[in-house]
Amino acid sequence: MRDTPAPIVFEYTLNVVGRPIVENCLNGYNSSVLAYGQTGSGKTFTMLGQIPTRAEEMPEQAGLIPRMFQYLFDRIKQLESIKREGREVCFLCKVSCLEIYQEVITDLLCPERTRLQLREDLRQGIYVDDLSEEVVNDGEDVVRLLRQGTANRHTGGTRTNALSSRSHCVFTCVVESQTVEDGVTSIRTSRLHLVDLAGSERQKVAESEGERLKEASSINRSLSTLGLVINKLAGAHRQPAHVPYRDSRLTFLLQDSLGGNAKTVIIANVSPGAGCARETQSTLGFAQRAKQIVNKARVNEDTRGEAALLTRENERLRRELQLLSDTYQALRQVRLLD
């Protein structure tokens, strides 16, 4: 699709990746989209593109994230408008945006919150402590937060890209749906990670110097851990092995996305230049190994009021059983009299 106009490429990506992922989230599945590739291959352009000024005016070069949220809120509006007797559905969406820069987590919506820590518990799973979340009601809210978050992100020049993203950026949306039907409240909660990874290239190719060299070393360590996790998971069906999720904040945060409770898509970005052949081969090898990973996605659902419903159903069955017993006894008496 090298010579295909950008709007067609973005619409194709939305149809193949974006819409199915959004539907997964609406159905209660955790989901992730990761853009991987060397600096300058188009990861940020794929994920963000031209961020709209207003959500209603989607530019032709708007990326996957703005288009996915436009589709998400269109679908929520449709689902909430469907009225059935005794059934009601409502949605709540919350977003956060963080970067991992040299293994330091910073809240991009509240950048004074830095050096945040990853936590894990049975109820929330893996989460970032003290990370701010904003309730979003429509595409306008998302566009505003996208602009705010990306403005606070670390960028810097390398030989391969004058405005290279020097950090991993994770834009997350929590989608909570509440369905009330026949006195039972069902709550589904899904988490959508949209990840723009830092560029994966050799330091010699990027020709980084000074602070950029330090950044490149940190990026390479982080991406090396990601590659190691992918390799371990890809070979797990042959020989179970320890997966080093905790060796990097990126892989620890994305543990569910990599072999866990999530449906994950990895977009492999490559550059068409002949001088990028080695990096392209490396990216395609990464994608090929990632395809071998088997995740264990499940619907995240909490049903309230189910005990009361089962009690009522149990009482109904008891009454039916008593009626059948009484009928049987009556028929037996008639037969004895005959």
pLDDT tens for each residue of 160-209: 444 556 799 999 999 999 998 877 888 999 999 999 999 876 655 545 55
The residue whose two tokens read 């620890």 is 252
Task: List binding-site positions.
Answer: 37-44
Give the tens place of pLDDT for each residue, 202-219.
Answer: 655 545 555 666 767 777
Q: How far apart are CA 273 and CA 267, in angstroms?
A: 19
CA distance 214 to 219: 9
Read off the pLDDT of residues 240-253 as tens digits, 9 standing for 90 and up.
779 999 999 999 99
245: left (phi over 0), alpha (psi -120 to 50) or beta: alpha
Task: Name the residue with tokens 């701010």.
Answer: 132
Indicate the annotated binding residues for ATP: 37-44
pLDDT of 305 strictly over 60: no
**Chain length of the chain:** 338
**pLDDT one-digit tens code per residue, 114-166:** 999 999 988 888 999 999 999 999 999 999 999 999 999 977 555 544 455 67
CA 297 to chain centre: 12
> What is the SS3 assignment for 225-274?
HHHHHHHHHHCCCCCCCCCCHHHCHHHHHCCCCCCCCCEEEEEEECCCCH
Angle (nearest 5°) at CA 28 between 174 and 255: 65
